[in-house]
Amino acid sequence: MIDPLRVRIALGDRSHDVLVGRGALSAAAGEIAAIARTREVAVIADEHVDDLHGAQLTRSWESAGVRTGTIRIPRGESAKALGIVESVCRTLAARRHEREDLVVGFGGGAATDTAAFVSAVFLRGVPYVAVPTSLLGMVDAAIGGKSAVDLPEGKNLVGAIRQPRLVVADLAFLDTLPVREIRAGFAEMIKIAWIADAKLFTELEETSGEVLDEVARDPSIVARCVALKGGIVARDELEQGERAVLNFGHTWGHAIETEARGALLHGECVALGMVAAVFCSAELGQCPRSELERLVRFLERVGLPTHRAEIDVDAVSTRMLSDKKRRHGGTRAVLTAGVGSVSVADHVSEDAVRRAVTFLRREGTRCDLSLE
């Protein structure tokens, strides 16, 4: 077995490693046994992921001498509810889970968000390890310590920051992940490269052949994305400044996602949101138009959406303008000067927001269309 790559997230006494590679799950068994000092491990698992890979997790870790007990939660986003948190906490209480016993989140971003939140609140905090099984979870959701569940009023409204003791990103899990989900995770990789590493963006762009197969499962590329996000989190864990740039593509993306009511995946909305953000930046004279063309060309090549005729311009714009990111009379958005350079703008005008949403409704992939 090849040793997994190890990325250190430097957060003082909350520093921890992220293991990345095929076989990382088995390779982590010894470390899990060391973290689980009481030997008791509660695995909070997405039920679909548990069906596919649960036995493998139990087998590899029990051989290192820990006892695992699995608590299954619903598949995907429906796990992110306070009712599920309550039922998981009650199961932990009934099993007499103690303060030193380990909680593991096992599944995509929805399962790790829920499990991390449980680990933050049960007994006021128990040790936590994330085992993300989706590409989006590996490069984004399980990195950085944000945990949250949803309310009927909106996504991620109840949460906590809780750093894991270890993150185990075993790329073999991706073998069963549908290609549409791989693409959605890849959108977040494109996002982090655009924000923080122009060289990585160019490398991804210049990959010949089937980009997704070649790079999305390449441990060194996944590890570089983890390190980029981890570096930003290490400098601004509580999002008092720099961490907000991770919202690149999300200002428009979240509004599009809510209005699409389940028709689009999060990563697909981030792709559309990045197109809107780059268009807006170009319109405001902050970014060359060629950068917009470059982004659209690359997203098209990997099969991510760059336009969508069904977008309701009024509904999306209104949602953005009333969103929590609205500040001091303008909308807060992450704009860009081009690959490798992003910044938070506090006063993006209503007109600029609307024009970018309107741009997404264009037909075809051309970027030189006038809006009038």
Distances from the Cα of 109 to the Cαs of 124, 137, 148, 338, in angstroms? Answer: 22, 5, 10, 28
Asked if 163 interacts with ligand NAD (CB under 6 A), we say no
Among 137, 164, 305, 338, binds ligand NAD (CB under 6 A): 137
Residue 156 tokens, joined: 């991620």
CA-CA distance, 49 to 111, in Å (whole number)?
A: 10
User: Which run of H or E residues covers position 317?
Assistant: helix 313-321
CA-CA distance, 171 to 4, in Å (whole number)?
A: 10
Which listed range, 25-33, 109-117, 119-127, 350-358, lies at the site for ligand NAD (CB under 6 A)?
109-117
CA-CA distance, 54 to 12, in Å (whole number)?
A: 32
Task: Select 68 or 133, whichever has its Cβ closest to ligand NAD.
Answer: 133
Find the radius of gyration of the CA atoms of the chain.
Answer: 20
3-class secondary-structure state, position 93: helix
Task: Select 89 or 160, whichever has its Cβ closest to ligand NAD.
Answer: 160
Which listed range, 71-79, 211-219, 252-260, 269-277, lies at the site for ligand NAD (CB under 6 A)?
71-79
3-class secondary-structure state, position 23: coil
Question: What is the x/- site pattern for ligand NAD, positions 175-214, by CB under 6 A?
Answer: -xx---x--x------------------------------
CB of 133 to ligand NAD, least distance (A): 4
Footprint of ligand NAD on 43-62 (CB under 6 A): 46, 48-49, 52
Q: Cβ–Cβ contacts within 10 Å for residue 124, how many?
A: 7
Which listed range, 22-30, 106-114, 290-298, 362-370, lies at the site for ligand NAD (CB under 6 A)?
106-114
3-class secondary-structure state, position 346: strand
Q: Which residues bind ligand NAD (CB under 6 A)?
A: 46, 48-49, 52, 75-77, 80, 107-111, 113, 133-134, 136-137, 140-141, 144, 146, 156, 173, 176-177, 181, 184, 266
